[in-house]
């Protein structure tokens, strides 16, 4: 079958801005993304990133390993899809990133062995997919939590001491947020293990005061521009509590869009259908008289901002409403 693979391009030594270059290639259903990118390298001599140094990528915003099959990519995203590095802000050469921030987190533990390092590196993709890492660079991350879990299970240190290291009130396990935009098979297991660590920390008395097991990231950590005196359309997902969100926006007139598409639903749609859904949503917000759209689901906000131009082209009238 024929697919269009749109690849992120950037060389930190020479480029000021990144770009995206499309390649149309023939693939078999059982071919992997690695094989597709290798075909791109053979076609384009300027695409020189070392794929052996690429632990994972983002496929249309979703985290994935390079062994994902073409048939699975096409079934979720269609025959035209975007491939980006795990963190575009840390890109050094096309899909390669500077992972020094990830490596530095390993120093949290003493007596690191080669086995520790091997297990830790298995969760590099999860580390860069975390919504909390984007909001808080000091967030310890899922790889640290999984290594702590492994060391506890294998009696590699005092349990209370290990838990104290990962129970920082702002940066530790009680700030964990589920990895929603992930094609990784182990994402659910990470959430279950973190919950177990939270329960252990509470039981042993090393958790922050008032901490509860299973607590996830909430909009209380939003970083917003000044909104006082403005009218804002608020897109609610299925878990959002409107009164509590209104309380976080004093002086702001809120228009709740209760029947609009949620962030989770946007993720599950094919790109061309999701763009049309986004167009309907933004027009609804604009026609309500709102000056901006605020999403309670981070996934929805990311999708709308990333695809704003395509959404604007799909609208039946001029679109002029920012997404916060």
Q: What is the CATH number of the domain that holds 303?
A: 3.40.50
Mean pLDDT of 69-88: 90
Q: Which of 169-173, 223-227, 231-235 is least confident?
A: 223-227
pLDDT number for residue 247? 67
Interatomic CA distance for residues 303 and 321, integer angstroms: 15
Look up the pTM and report it: 0.65
Q: 239 φ, ψ to 5°?
A: -100, -5
Same-domain check for residues 229 and 301: yes
> Is there a domain that residue 60 lies in?
yes
Interatomic CA distance for residues 197 and 167, integer angstroms: 9
pLDDT number for residue 231? 81
Q: What CATH code is carried by the domain that includes residue 31?
A: 3.10.20.30
Same-domain check for residues 84 and 112: no
Last residue of a domain, one of 141, 169, 203: 203
Interatomic CA distance for residues 60 and 273, integer angstroms: 14
> Is there a domain that residue 214 lies in?
no
Mean pLDDT of 273-285: 78
pLDDT number for residue 226? 64
pLDDT number for residue 308? 76
Q: Which long-range contacts (CB under 8 A, 24 or more apart) does 102-105 make?
A: 102/127, 102/128, 102/141, 102/143, 105/140, 105/141, 105/143, 105/144
252: left (phi over 0), alpha (psi -120 to 50) or beta: beta
Confidence bin at 217 (pLDDT 50/70/90)? very low
> Is there a domain that residue 321 lies in?
no
Q: Which domain holds residue 273?
A: 224-314
pLDDT number for residue 222? 42
> Is there a domain that residue 324 lies in?
no
Q: What CATH code is carried by the domain that includes residue 167?
A: 1.10.1060.20
Percent of the chain predicted with pLDDT > 90? 31
> Is there a domain that residue 210 lies in?
no
pLDDT number for residue 180? 63
Mean pLDDT, the chain, whole residue set: 81
Confidence bin at 93 (pLDDT 50/70/90)? very high
Same-domain check for residues 79 and 154: no
Interatomic CA distance for residues 270 and 282, integer angstroms: 18
Same-domain check for residues 125 and 75: no
* Number of domain units in the chain: 3
> Is there a domain that residue 121 lies in?
yes
Report whether pLDDT(271) > 70: no
Same-domain check for residues 104 and 199: yes
Report whether pLDDT(221) > 50: no
Percent of the chain predicted with pLDDT > 70? 81
> Is there a domain that residue 216 lies in?
no
pLDDT number for residue 216? 45
Same-domain check for residues 90 and 117: no
> Is there a domain that residue 218 lies in?
no
Mean pLDDT of 285-310: 75
Same-domain check for residues 120 and 137: yes
Report whether pLDDT(82) > 80: yes
Mean pLDDT of 124-132: 87
Same-domain check for residues 68 and 109: no
């Amino acid at each position: 079958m024929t697919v269009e693979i749109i690849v992120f391009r950037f060389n930190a030594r020479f480029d000021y801005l990144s770009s995206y270059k499309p390649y149309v290639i023939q693939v078999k259903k059982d071919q992997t993304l690695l094989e597709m990118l290798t075909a791109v390298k053979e076609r384009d001599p300027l695409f020189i990133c070392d794929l052996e140094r690429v632990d994972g990528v983002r496929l249309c915003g979703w985290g994935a390993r390079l062994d994902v099959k073409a048939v699975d990519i096409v079934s979720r995203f269609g025959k035209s899809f975007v491939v980006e590095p795990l963190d575009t802000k840390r890109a050094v050469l096309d899909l390669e990133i500077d992972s020094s921030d990830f490596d530095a987190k390993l120093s949290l533990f003493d007596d690191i062995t080669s086995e520790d390092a091997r297990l830790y590196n298995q969760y590099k993709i999860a580390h860069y997919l975390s919504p909390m890492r984007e909001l808080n660079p000091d967030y310890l991350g899922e790889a640290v939590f999984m290594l702590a879990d492994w060391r506890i299970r294998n009696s590699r240190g005092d349990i209370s001491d290990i838990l104290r290291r990962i129970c920082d009130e702002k940066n530790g396990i009680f700030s964990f947020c589920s990895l929603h935009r992930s094609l990784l098979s182990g994402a659910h297991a990470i959430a279950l293990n973190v919950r177990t660590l939270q329960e252990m920390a509470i039981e042993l008395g090393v958790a922050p005061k008032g901490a509860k097991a299973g607590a996830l990231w909430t909009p209380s950590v939003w970083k917003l521009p000044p909104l006082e005196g403005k009218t804002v359309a608020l897109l609610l997902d299925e878990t959002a509590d409107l009164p509590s969100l209104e309380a976080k926006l004093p002086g702001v007139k809120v228009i709740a869009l209760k029947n609009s598409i949620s962030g989770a639903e946007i993720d599950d749609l094919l790109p061309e259908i999701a763009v049309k859904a986004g167009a309907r949503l933004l027009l609804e917000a604009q026609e309500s008289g709102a000056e901006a759209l605020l999403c309670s689901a981070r996934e929805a906000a990311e999708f709308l901002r990333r695809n704003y131009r395509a959404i604007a082209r799909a609208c039946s009238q001029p679109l002029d409403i920012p997404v916060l």
